[in-house]
């Protein structure tokens, strides 16, 4: 992404020696997987599947002559809260509930493999069940390699592992593909032309409701399912992926137009999500507006962009239980 490239460029410019960047965020390197922006998961999936056996192999380890933990940090680091307070960040959000670091990441991976992987394909889409991997923040901050996760899962073949590899490798690396090849990955202009056209054709459609930024932030709307999703995100730094799709679709309904909806989704997501500002975050927001999707039946506000409804949630899940868990 843009900011990461700038970090590397700035570091290289400041050094008097060579700087080598090793791409370890993806299993299959982005430019190896595809030379262009892919249209959808179905177009990148066969390309990754043809290549991933070459990359799903354990890495050699080497003893280093100089380790980062041997360096003098220059100041005391025994008070992380004091260090964080000096950073130019939104201090009102507070720290997340997860413990960071490689040891915690590996412990969570071990727990997931032991208790959740076998049923991952059945449970991951139900917001009333904590069936997700809860590894995204560790992947985002580099505390855990996707290769480590994939290799651990492959020791336990089955439909759960197949579903995990689809999310971890195919879907996640589709997000990398978009952010690498589309310079507008974090802007409304990155949404596909067909989707922007149909959304803008319906920009003057009546909206069912409109809320202030403060009401949205606090999860105080007339939609209890949306409120529960928003409050889950604020309280835990995580939102169930299925609810994140519904959450975004409702923001589109409540916004003056698709550009405003994109900005609102990105601001809330990046403020509260532990994996905010990730490639998955940018793609998730643009997916709400039609990215990596196709035209559907026409609806007010949405045009031919896919819509979602509260009744659809109720048909699939125990939504009253979900609301009770997060709206007190």
Domains of the chain by residue range: 2-60+98-181, 188-326
Structural contact between residues 283 and 178, judged by C-beta atoms closer than 8 angstroms: yes
Tell me the pLDDT tens digit for each residue of 158-196.
Answer: 999 999 999 999 999 999 999 999 999 999 999 999 999
**Helix 224-236 vs helix 258-272: angle between axes, to the nearest 10 degrees?**
40
Query: Closest Cα partner for 144 from 99, 81, 92, 191?
Result: 99
For residue 197, what pLDDT is reported? 99
pLDDT digits 0-9 by tens, 261-272: 999 999 999 999
- The mean pLDDT of the chain is 95
pLDDT attached to residue 76:
80
| CATH number for the domain whose boundaries are 2-60+98-181 | 1.25.40.80
Q: Which residues contact 170 (CB under 8 A, 6 or more apart)?
A: 41, 44, 45, 48, 49
pLDDT at 65: 85
What pLDDT does residue 53 have? 96
Q: Which residues of 281-320 are buried (b: 16+ CB within 10 A; e: fewer)?
A: bbbbbbbbbbbbbeeeeeeebbbbbbbbeeeebeeebebe
Q: Does 96 have pLDDT greater than 80?
A: no
Tell me: pLDDT of 106 over 80: yes
pLDDT at 137 over 90: yes
Residue 205 has pLDDT above 90, yes or no: yes
Q: Of 113, 96, 139, 107, which is closest to residue 239 (Cα–Cα)? A: 96
Arithmetic mean of pLDDT, 94-108: 90
Read off the tokens for 305: 């962009």
Q: What does R_g of the chain's alpha carbons equal in angstroms? A: 21
Query: What pLDDT is attached to residue 114?
Result: 97
pLDDT confidence of residue 279? 97
In CATH terms, the fold of domain 188-326 is DNA Cyclobutane Dipyrimidine Photolyase, subunit A; domain 3 (1.10.579)
Cβ atoms 305, 290 nearer than 8 A:
yes
């Amino acid at each position: 992404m843009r900011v990461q490239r700038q970090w590397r460029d700035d570091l290289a410019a400041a050094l008097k020696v060579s700087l080598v960047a090793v791409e370890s965020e993806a299993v299959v390197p982005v430019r190896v997987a595809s030379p262009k922006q892919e249209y959808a998961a179905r177009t990148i999936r066969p390309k990754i599947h043809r290549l991933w056996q070459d990359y799903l192999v354990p890495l050699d380890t080497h003893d280093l002559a100089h380790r980062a933990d041997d360096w003098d940090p220059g100041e005391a680091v025994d008070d992380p809260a004091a260090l964080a307070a000096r950073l130019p960040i939104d201090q009102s959000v507070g720290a997340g509930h997860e413990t960071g670091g490689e040891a915690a990441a590996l412990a969570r991976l071990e727990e997931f493999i032991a208790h959740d992987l076998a049923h991952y394909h059945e449970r991951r889409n139900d917001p009333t069940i904590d069936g997700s991997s809860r590894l995204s923040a560790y992947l985002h901050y580099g505390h855990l390699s996707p290769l480590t996760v994939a290799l651990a899962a492959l020791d336990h073949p089955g439909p759960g592992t197949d579903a995990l590899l689809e999310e971890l490798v195919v879907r996640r690396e589709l997000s990398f593909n978009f952010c690498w090849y589309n310079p507008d990955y974090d802007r409304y202009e990155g949404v596909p032309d067909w989707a922007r056209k149909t959304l803008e054709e319906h920009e003057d459609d009546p909206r069912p409701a409109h809320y202030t930024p403060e009401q949205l932030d606090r999860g105080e709307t007339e939609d209890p399912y949306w409120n529960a999703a928003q409050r889950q995100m604020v309280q835990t730094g995580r939102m169930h992926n299925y609810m994140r799709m519904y959450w975004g679709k409702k923001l589109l309904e409540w916004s003056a137009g698709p550009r405003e909806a994109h900005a609102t989704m990105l601001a809330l997501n990046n403020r509260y999500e532990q994996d905010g500002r990730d490639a998955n975050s940018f793609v998730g927001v643009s997916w709400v507006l039609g990215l990596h999707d196709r035209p559907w039946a026409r609806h007010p506000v949405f045009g031919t962009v896919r819509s979602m409804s509260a009744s659809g949630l109720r048909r699939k899940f125990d939504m009253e239980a979900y609301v009770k868990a997060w709206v007190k």
